[in-house]
């Protein structure tokens, strides 16, 4: 069944442009500041880490903003704040200015990624959300890849001013994406259901009576949300192990040429762009709990293989790395849309923005602590790094049953079991359902 996009083309275009601009700058972030400022590499890294820590509370404020302003407006504001932040990189001259600009850029990204989940939940039906989050991942990776290729080509030309243009182009992409979302008119849910030729069935149990909007107190008291956020924190550490550590591990530990790293990342990106949406469409009727357990098992195998690569003869290492990145990418494609969709499924109809904020906080915390944790583990030895990640995968697979039942109905049934389950736990959740 093809995924209906009627009424959402404006949003899709905006997300693609946003990702394209990010791909232009992201791979050259550290190198840009080395070239554009007199700061040392250590000072640049410290400044970006401080900025990431300062941005940590932003998702909590975004939850309140979504309730008051609406998710679409917060997405627009997030794009414009990001545009100002990345444009500020052009005039950065010292460490304090770098921290300030990075805080703006990070805050804009936190606003966007917190609010976009709520926006997608508003314009999709339960049965298609997992597919929509998968589609979002695909276009994001496609944009990153195209942007990175364009930037690599431009930098390779050695034309004066190319580096200075990268943050400017990224800022322009955020501003254009914000304008496109502003001009886009979200479709009504009735229109979406008509396009899907389906309607959401009513739950078999009586609906829960309306209650006041949820607060952060009720969100933080939601054991399912906290468990899912902990699982997501582990997911972030695992997924960043490849983007942050793989280059160092392959070159320094496995003694391979730097071009091998580039080929591995290219293979990862191509697989996500081509396979992500079809894979999610094929697995959309599989219960979310089973998907997460399967993804955790796949990742455990991937990290075990990376560990093995350090103890086998060098001539076999490239082959193992190629097989491994394929296995890792399959796990990534299973995990990513499912976790985001589950965050929506376990949220109440009213106050879901607070749940999204708590969930986004786990992403920010994971991104902030990952460099320190992963580098320390690698310094201790490959066996410490990869065995720790294998244990995290086992814990993710074991604890997902605390969030969803062992055998939950498929998303296409539209019976909305997860929110009903939350209702029975807290006594104040409306019934509903869906799928990152």
In this structure, are 233 and 296 located in the same domain?
yes
For 383-433, the pLDDT digits (tens) are 999 999 999 999 999 999 888 754 444 444 443 443 333 333 333 333 233
Examine the domain organization and report whether 131 and 222 are in the same domain: no
Last residue of a domain, one of 140, 165, 195: 195
Structure tokens at 100: 């300030």
Residue 270 lies in a domain: yes
Same domain flag for 162 and 247: no
Write out the residue range of the structural domain in which residue 403 sits. 216-426
Domain count across the chain: 2
- Tokens 């998702």 -> residue: 59
Compare 149 and 287 and report the one with higher pLDDT: 287
d(CA 330, CA 229): 22
Instruction: Clarify whether residues 227 and 191 are in a common domain.
Output: no
User: Could you report the per-residue pLDDT of 24-46, keeping only the tens digit for each?
Assistant: 787 677 778 888 888 887 788 78
Confidence bin at 331 (pLDDT 50/70/90): very high
One domain for residues 416 and 292: yes
Q: How far is CA 257 from CA 32, 245, 311, in A?
A: 23, 15, 18
Would you state the pLDDT for residue 229? Answer: 92
The predicted model gives 106-135 an average pLDDT of 80
Which CATH number belongs to the domain containing residue 236 in this structure?
1.20.1250.20
Summarised one tens digit per residue, pLDDT across range 339-396 is: 888 887 777 764 467 777 888 888 888 888 887 788 888 888 999 999 999 999 999 9
Q: Which of 104-108, 118-122, 146-150, 365-369 has the highest mean pLDDT?
A: 104-108
Handedness of CA 130, 136, 140, 143 (dihedral sign): positive
What is the pTM for the complete model shown?
A: 0.66
Chain-centre distance of CA 269, in angstroms? 14
Whether 28 and 110 share a structural domain: yes
Q: Is residue 283 part of a domain?
A: yes
- Counts of helices then strands in the chain (DSSP H, E): 18, 0
Residue 138: which of 434, 362, 336, 298 has the closest Cα? 336
* Structure confidence by residue, pLDDT tens digits, 244-278: 788 788 888 899 887 787 788 778 888 888 888 78
For residue 131, is pLDDT > 70? yes
Verify that 173 and 231 share a domain, yes or no.
Answer: no
Query: Is the same domain home to 124 and 236?
Result: no
Query: Which pLDDT value is given to residue 201?
Result: 36
How far is it, in rounded angstroms, from Cα 376 to Cα 238? 14
Same domain, residue pair 293 and 251: yes
**Whether 397 contacts 296, CB under 8 Å:** yes
Burial of 241 (0-12, 13-18, 19+ CB in 10 A): buried
| Residue scoring higher pLDDT (343 or 83) | 83
Q: Does 4 reside within a domain?
A: no
Q: Is the pLDDT of residue 185 over 80?
A: yes
Is 434 within the bounds of a domain? no
**Structural domain contains residue 403:** yes
Confidence band (pLDDT; 50, 70, 90) for 100? very high
* CB-based contact 280:363 (threshold 8 Å): no
Tell me if 2 is assigned to some domain.
no
What pLDDT score does 382 carry?
A: 92
State percent of the chain over pLDDT 70: 81
The confidence score (pLDDT) of residue 80 equals 96
Does 436 reside within a domain? Answer: no
Other beta carbons less than 10 A from residue 13's beta carbon: 16
Mean pLDDT of the chain: 79
Q: Residue 55 domain-assigned?
A: yes
Judge whether 410 and 289 are in contact, CB under 8 Å: no
Q: Is the pLDDT of residue 317 over 90?
A: yes
Is 126 or 52 the better-scoring residue by pLDDT? Answer: 52
Coil, helix or strand for 286? Answer: coil
pLDDT(315) > 60: yes
Of residues 42 and 201, more confidently modeled = 42
If asked whether residues 187 and 239 sit together in one domain, one would say no
Q: Decide if pLDDT at 202 tops 70.
A: no
One domain, residues 358 and 224: yes
Residues 171 and 265 in one domain: no
Query: Quick one: how far is CA 175 from the chain centroid?
Result: 21
Q: Last residue of a domain, which of 165, 195, 225? A: 195
- pLDDT above 60 for 98: yes
For 351, left (φ over 0), alpha (ψ -120 to 50), or beta? left
pLDDT classification of 108: cutoffs 50, 70, 90? very high
* Burial bucket for residue 371 (CB in 10 Å: 0-12, 13-18, 19+): middle
Alpha-carbon distance 286 to 288, whole Å?
A: 6
């Amino acid at each position: 069944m093809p995924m209906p996009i009627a009424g959402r083309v404006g949003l899709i275009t905006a997300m693609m442009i946003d990702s394209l601009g990010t791909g232009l700058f992201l791979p050259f972030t550290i190198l840009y500041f080395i070239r554009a400022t007199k700061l040392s590499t250590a000072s640049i890294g410290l400044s970006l880490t401080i900025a990431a820590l300062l941005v940590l509370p932003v998702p909590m404020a975004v939850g309140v903003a979504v309730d008051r302003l609406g998710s679409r407006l917060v997405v627009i504001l997030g794009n414009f704040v990001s545009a100002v932040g990345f444009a500020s990189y052009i005039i950065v001259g010292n460490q304090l200015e770098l921290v300030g600009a990075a805080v703006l850029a990070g805050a804009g990204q936190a606003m966007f990624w917190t609010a976009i989940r709520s926006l997608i939940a508003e314009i999709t039906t339960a049965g298609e959300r997992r597919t929509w989050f998968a589609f979002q991942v695909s276009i994001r990776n496609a944009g990153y890849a195209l942007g990175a290729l364009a930037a690599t080509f431009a930098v390779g030309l050695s034309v004066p001013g190319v580096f200075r243009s990268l943050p400017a182009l990224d800022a322009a992409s955020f501003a254009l994406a914000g304008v496109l979302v502003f001009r886009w008119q979200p479709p009504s849910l009735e229109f979406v259901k008509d396009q899907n030729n389906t309607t959401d069935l009513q739950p078999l149990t009586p609906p829960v009576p309306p209650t006041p909007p949820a607060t952060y107190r009720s969100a933080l008291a939601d054991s399912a949300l906290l468990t899912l956020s902990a699982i997501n924190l582990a997911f972030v550490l695992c997924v960043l192990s490849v983007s942050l550590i793989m280059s160092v591990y392959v070159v320094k530990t496995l003694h391979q040429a730097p071009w091998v790293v580039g080929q591995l990342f290219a293979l990862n990106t191509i697989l996500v762009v081509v396979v992500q949406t079809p894979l999610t469409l094929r697995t959309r009727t599989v219960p979310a709990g089973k998907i997460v357990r399967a993804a955790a098992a796949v990742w455990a195998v991937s990290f075990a293989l990376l560990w093995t690569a350090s103890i086998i003869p060098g001539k076999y290492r490239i082959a193992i790395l190629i097989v491994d990145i394929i296995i890792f990418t399959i796990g990534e494609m299973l995990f990513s849309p499912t976790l985001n969709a589950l965050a929506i499924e376990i949220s109440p109809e009213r106050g879901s923005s607070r749940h999204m904020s708590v969930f986004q906080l786990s992403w920010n915390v994971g991104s902030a602590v990952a460099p320190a944790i992963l580098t320390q583990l690698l310094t201790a030895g490959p066996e410490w790094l990869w065995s720790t990640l294998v244990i995290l995968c086992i814990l993710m697979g074991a604890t997902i049953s605390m969030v969803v039942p062992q055998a939950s109905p498929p998303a296409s049934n539209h019976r909305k079991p997860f929110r009903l389950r939350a209702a029975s736990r807290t006594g104040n959740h409306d019934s509903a359902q869906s799928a990152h």
